[in-house]
Structure 1
Amino acid sequence: MRAIIFPLLATTLFAASVVHAADMPTQAQIQAAVDKGIAATQAKSSSSMPMPFAIKISKVVGCKPSPEVKTEVVCLVGMSTGSSDAYRVLPLRVDGNTWVGVERKDAVFPPPTPAEAITAMRAWAEQLVIDKPETANDKQIQELRTNMKVKSVGHCGIGRKTGYLECDSTLEIPGKPDVKAELLYSLEGDTWKFVVDK
């Protein structure tokens, strides 16, 4: 039962102006949208048995305007059923004065831009050198702190246990072939952080 709950939320749970960055739902509003969606799904179900556990929004990592639909936002949230936890991307829109969920599978959460990605990576490298001064002599760290660029940030998956974005990225270093790698980023407030380990 629990194994199908999270996919169900993205596909069958949720029932015009461009959304701006400031117009984002709160955790309470997201929870209300989830509760409303569950009630609507149960009302349509042929089963009269109530759901045996509650679905709780345990954390909101962040919400951003949807890159797919201008009138929607997407929120990266932690969801809990009591004994199972996972991070998911929930698309929402405003209906009157109320946030409601949207029926769309595999909604995309916008990743960091190349400029945001390299800023996050350099911030990580600078902190590493502060914590471990000997790493300042490492050639890769030197490149990262100076002339390395993030050429592109492509497809990203969501770490279900971490909430990290796992993104196909292309790195550019002058005089060398481009390097393609899957890099991890976490969103903390409005700031992207580079993550080395999952």
Structure 2
Amino acid sequence: TVSAARPDLIEVNISCPNVGDEFGTPFAGAADSAAAVTASVCGATDIPVVVKLAPNVPSIARIAAAVVEAGAAAITAVNTAPGMVIDAESGRPVLHNKVGGVSGAALKPIALRSVFEIRKAVDVPIIGTGGVSTGRDAVEMLAAGATVVGVGSAIYTRGVGALAQIGAELAEFMAAHGFESVAQLRNRSHQPVGGQNA
């Protein structure tokens, strides 16, 4: 089992957008089903459970609160959002399921809003993911309320060296703006206008 391997945490992706016609809605689309899955996994392990949420829901804050109440130790926000690619020649969808997950730069504004709303609703660590490919993107994700930042598409397109580049750009931003720690970057978008470093 996964628990027998003793990982530091277990991420439960209740929002997989690539399965079936529902685009991830069976578990991640409603607070009660999201909480039920979370409680089931948390009840089967003593390892901290991180729940990955979908952005295409009416209230991601409500779902975040439900999974935390059900035992989630942290939240990953967010998975991909629904999108479509059409072949101009044939006029037909490129993907077998017709729709698939949009990631990368197109997802960043959606991810930032999701992290922002979740941070207002719960006080657990948030792994902010979605469109982070530069140090400035990481700064924005932290300001929205992420505890740590996840990178996916940039690794696929640029290789693992993207991580070092993003880290270096983040350090440059911090030095240029007088920040001494990443903690100072967190939750800045939740502060009243006029508060803290600009």
Same fold per superposition (TM over 0.5):
no
Counting helix residues as a fraction of each chain, which structure ranks higher? 2
Bigger radius of gyration among the two? 1
Counting strand residues as a fraction of each chain, which structure ranks higher? 1
Structure 2-normalised TM-score?
Answer: 0.27
